[in-house]
């Protein structure tokens, strides 16, 4: 699996390009994201945008990318309605209106998203892990061969966790969601904000669990 990152501006989320054809999250500033994406891969190569959750800083640039690429949009099934909800999407917090976005693909816990063939010729997948807390339909994505976790805003490097005080947050489920992540063999952590961790990322996950246990007893 090849992972490339667009370093975000302002409050944009991280944007990860997987195997030069799949985006994990899209940021919110098209005029910033699109030129940087073009330096990595022609926008027309993008086939799928997978949203870890429906907050505007993660999907605001998606319409412009879709218009130029024809890419499909995927999101966890129970999170889809928030894309059109000004409060739940946090669009209001950024002084924006919700764009007209309709997902093409709806994911469920345990689904596998194909991302191409690995070095051994076998198909590789991102496994969908439902992690409610930051929002009710948050999900993380795990690639087992590289031991990589794309954590959205559920957890961050060095033990951080996402806020759980939004209109559609479920703070009572945050700790349970992170506990699920501690069972994975994780070497690389790619969070929705901040720097990735490429060594002993399992330690970051364990720290996030301890933090959540204190914050959400």
Residue-number span of the structural domain to which 43 is assigned: 3-215
- CATH number, domain with residue 45: 3.60.15.10
Structure confidence by residue, pLDDT tens digits, 73-128: 999 999 999 999 888 988 888 888 888 899 999 999 999 999 998 777 789 999 99
Region 168-192: mean pLDDT is 96
What total of structural domains would you count in the chain? Answer: 1
For residue 207, the Cα-to-chain-centroid distance in whole angstroms is 20
pTM of model > 0.85? yes
Structure confidence by residue, pLDDT tens digits, 8-37: 888 899 999 999 999 999 999 999 999 999
Task: Report the 10 Å Cβ neighbour count for 117.
Answer: 11
Tokens of 29: 């500033």
Secondary structure (3-state) at 205: helix
Region 176-184: mean pLDDT is 97
Nearest to 33 by CA among 58, 8, 56, 16: 8
Secondary structure (3-state) at 116: strand
Region 142-162: mean pLDDT is 96
Biggest distance spanned by C-alpha atoms of the chain: 47
């Amino acid at each position: 699996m090849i992972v490339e990152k667009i370093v975000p501006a302002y409050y944009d989320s991280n944007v990860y390009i997987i195997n030069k054809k799949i985006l994990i999250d899209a940021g919110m500033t098209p005029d910033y994201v699109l030129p940087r994406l073009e330096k990595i891969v022609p926008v027309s190569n993008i086939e799928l945008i997978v949203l870890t959750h429906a907050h505007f800083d993660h999907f605001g640039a998606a319409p412009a990318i879709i218009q130029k690429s024809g890419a499909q949009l995927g999101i966890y099934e129970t999170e889809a309605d928030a894309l059109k909800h000004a409060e739940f999407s946090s669009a209001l917090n950024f002084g924006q209106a919700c764009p007209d976005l309709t997902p093409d693909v709806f994911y469920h816990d345990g689904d596998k998203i194909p991302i191409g063939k690995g070095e051994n010729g076998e198909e590789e997948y991102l496994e969908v892990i439902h992690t409610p807390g930051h929002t009710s339909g948050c999900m993380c994505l795990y690639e087992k061969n590289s031991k990589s976790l794309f954590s959205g805003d559920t957890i961050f490097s060095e033990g951080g966790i996402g806020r759980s005080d939004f209109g559609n947050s479920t703070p009572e489920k945050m700790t349970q969601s992170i506990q699920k992540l501690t069972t994975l063999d994780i070497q690389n952590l790619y969070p929705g904000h901040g720097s990735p961790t490429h060594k002993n990322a399992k330690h970051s996950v364990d720290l996030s669990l301890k933090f959540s246990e204190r914050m959400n007893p």
